[in-house]
A and B are shown apart, each in its own frame.
Chain A
């Protein structure tokens, strides 16, 4: 499909800058599927420019101060819907609690895009190759969603339904991501492979590993850009979980993860390469986690 990027954006009928979340939600409902949420605009305006999206109404949520910020609670960290990728990148809370999320966000796009774009926007756009889903899937994060029927919490595991498709209705607004803190003896890693510096991933991998006395107490492995949605490699996790860590087992885990993928061939990579690289990155990520746990133990 050849997309033309027009110099000007398409005209739309209405622009709103609501002052409360309730107002925003009711505007979205009134919009009847023709209203789009504007936060950073780094996905929305691109899609408008190539006419993939021609909304009739824009609801700018940037004034909803209750959606901003990153906060540390007793058991979890909260990322507000307006927390930009850059906010997350420079956040000492995120760097300390979830190194793999810091790593993922630091490598995304460019400084300019990270200054504008939000983590929640990245999730809601639902690109299968996005960089925030794999870390957040391994961290078992969930999102708080506000809609005309009230507030609900959706596990990220159930969030993605297809390429650029999520469970969200057009009149629903994600207000925050909640990430439970990691257990002790955990190591995390995020790796990705791209063509050039600022590019979408050919493959990206996130691993959260917990080891005690050489035994894998728990492991979570997630991959992006290798399936219609970001995925958890659950069969691979079962290979490793509860067992003594050794090179052969890690290799088997990585191999199983690659088998869990269903990549396609596109302009960034081929399905064969993606399958092979999935295995390599999972193996490397697990080994990085092990190193980090050892380093943590040594203090």
Chain B
């Protein structure tokens, strides 16, 4: 396809199908935040370089960086964002744990952290502290110092 066109892509986000006509060079992050009917602004632009993790979303259950993903490259795929975690208003175990452990301050890193943590617990339901630290090293937080975040993930893993 060429830049003369604005190709239409379809994305399934949190179980709902969306269509958008986009520029070729649009990233998944931009499409989620700006180009869909429900602006899904949970994923954030942090560094644009793949180091901070604020743009993390889940594709096939795997944590990936939406700022380094061309929207065209995920045409037709299923994507999970933070907005899809709670079911019928009931918070996910991780969201509850983050609340109760004081793991959220400004909240900017939180969507990315929680999604990465979800991916960890789906792969490894009972991680130790070292494993949590290692797995989350791609999600930077400037507010909390990480202690409460780690505790929250461990709390959630205990059910």
Contacts and interface: CB of A to CB of B under 8 A. Distances in A.
B65 A116 contact: yes
A100 B28 CA distance: 35
Nearest to A6: B48
Interface in B109-124: 116, 119-120
A15 B75 CA distance: 13
A116 B2 CA distance: 25
Contacts of A15: 1, 7, 24, 70, 72
A298 B52 CA distance: 44
A2 interface: no
Contacts, number: 102
A7 to B, nearest CB: 7
Contacts of A12: 3, 24-25
Contacts of A9: 25-27, 70
A58 interface: yes
Interface residues of A, number: 34
Given A8-B30, A12-B24, A110-B53, A46 B68 contact: yes
B82 to A, nearest CB: 15
Interface string A246-284: 000000000000000000000000000000000000000
A13 interface: yes
A112 B53 contact: yes
A10 B50 contact: no
Contacts of B64: 112, 115-116
A112 B116 contact: yes
Given A14-B1, A14-B2, A111 B65 contact: no
A5 B70 contact: no
Given A46-B68, A198-B138, A113 B50 contact: yes
Contact of A109 (B24, B62, B138): B138
B51 interface: yes
Contacts of A109: 50, 138
Interface string B1-45: 111000100000000000000011111001000000000000001
A17 B77 CA distance: 15
Interface in A12-51: 12-17, 38, 41-42, 45-46, 48-50
Contacts of B62: 86, 115
Nearest to B59: A115
What secondary structure prevails in chain B residues at the interface with A? mixed
A49 B120 CA distance: 29
Contacts of A49: 48-49
Given A11-B3, A112-B65, A112-B138, A5 B25 contact: no
Contacts of B23: 11
A50 B23 CA distance: 19
Contacts of B157: none
A116 B69 contact: yes
B25 A38 contact: no
Contacts of B1: 14-16
The 10 A-B pairs with the shortest beta carbon distances in the complex, nearest first, are A110-B138, A9-B25, A197-B137, A45-B68, A5-B48, A115-B62, A13-B3, A112-B63, A112-B138, A112-B65
Interface of A: 5-17, 38, 41-42, 45-46, 48-50, 58, 60, 62, 86, 109-113, 115-116, 197-198
21 contacts: A5-B47, A10-B25, A11-B3, A13-B24, A15-B70, A42-B65, A45-B27, A46-B50, A58-B70, A110-B137, A111-B63, A111-B116, A111-B137, A112-B50, A112-B53, A112-B56, A112-B138, A113-B65, A115-B63, A198-B51, A198-B137
